[in-house]
Amino acid sequence: MSSLGLAELVLIVKDVPASTRFYEDVVGLTLENEPSEEWAWFWAGKQGARQRVALHRGPLLFEEHSPYPEGERFGRVHFAFEVARDELDAAAGRVRKAGVEVHGPVELEWMNARSYYFYDPDGNLLEFWSPDPGQAAPSSALD
């Protein structure tokens, strides 16, 4: 079994203040500190946890080593936030209330979970994912 764990996810965005409002007000993340025009850091889980999501405008370290041409070095991504089942519909409702189209719920039988999907202002596909609290999730192929 691997001892790897996710530490941070950095999203390249066009407008850090606008994306900060989206991730704070619509997604529901908690800011780690006061954002700047170039960076915003959020806790991705309990405050003080090591897992964080960042928003960044501009180049990243070692970008010049990317095999892709400038302007295409980073693409849109998909990622999921785990949400307790009893909070899942309210979380999706908060996104809808902000005028963002929400897709779902989608029943993911292969992992005993339910999800809602939506896009952020930069075209990244986000997911609110909730495992069925009454069933154990299937074991991962990575275990």
pLDDT in tens, 6-51: 789 999 999 999 999 999 999 999 999 999 999 999 999 888 888 9
Query: Residue 140 — pLDDT band, cuts 50, 70, 90?
Result: very low
Identify the architecture of domain 1-58 in CATH.
Answer: Roll (3.10)
> Is the pTM here over 0.85, yes or no?
no
Q: Report how far residue 4's alpha carbon sits from residue 15's, in angstroms, rounded to the nearest whole number.
A: 31
* pLDDT-wise least confident of 54-63, 105-114, 131-140: 131-140
Q: Report how far residue 89's alpha carbon sits from residue 52's, in angstroms, rounded to the nearest whole number.
A: 24
Q: For residues 48 and 12, is the Cβ–Cβ distance under 8 A?
A: no
Residue type, 34: E
Q: Where are the beta strands (DSSP E) in 13-97?
A: 30-31, 39-43, 52-56, 78-82
Q: Exposure of 114 by Cβ count < 10 A (0-12 exposed, 13-18 middle, 19+ buried)?
A: buried
Q: Report how far residue 53's alpha carbon sits from residue 125's, in angstroms, rounded to the nearest whole number.
A: 14
Phi and psi at residue 39, in whole multiples of 5°?
-140, 145
* DSSP state, residue 23: I
- What class does CATH assign to 76-143? alpha beta
Q: Which of 80, 122, 121 is nearest to 104 (CA)?
A: 80
CB atoms within 10 A of CB 80: 15
Domain with CATH 3.10.180.10 in the chain: 1-58, 76-143
